[in-house]
Amino acid sequence: MPPVDSEPLVEVTLTTPEITASELLCDETLERWQLDVSASSWTGGGALWWTTDQIYIESHDVRSRSAAPDGSSDELRLRLNIVADWRDAQTNLSTAFLCASEPDGLFVLYDPSGDIVACQSLGPAVMDWSRVADVPMCP
């Protein structure tokens, strides 16, 4: 039997992930929001809470779309289609927020074990999310 070629094992080194870059954009032509987040190590994903009035609040999971084999980085992405009627918004799929609405958001980054390791405010104003029910406390 001939020898089987195998790729060398990649040594994985994990550190506590940090947010290295983020961008929240709305494409008016596609009628879609997109959040891209880069992290310094593998993550356990993230979550986005956002609102325009602190009454109607949406939450969405932000999942990894590409991670370095050695654990040195992770790229997360969330795409949300804009719906005409807020009642049609679906978690992780769509949003009621129009591009012109400029929602304020809180992005939370989890480590691979699910602990919160970083938070970042998004949007035109820096809102105090500590007063909003069901939103985790940031470190």
Chosen CATH of 19-122 out of 1.10.10, 1.10.287, 3.40.50, 2.60.40: 2.60.40
Q: Give the pairing of strands 32-39 and 46-51.
A: unpaired
d(CA 92, CA 96): 12
Delimit the domains of the chain by residue range: 19-122
Mean pLDDT for the stretch of residues 107-134: 91
From 41-50, 65-74, 116-125, the region with the lowest mean pLDDT: 116-125
From 52-61, 84-93, 130-139, the region with the lowest mean pLDDT: 130-139
Q: Is the pTM of this model over 0.75?
A: yes
CA-to-CA separations, 120 to 13, 34, 35, 48, 116, in angstroms, rounded: 25, 16, 12, 10, 12
Contact 68, 17 (CB under 8 A): no
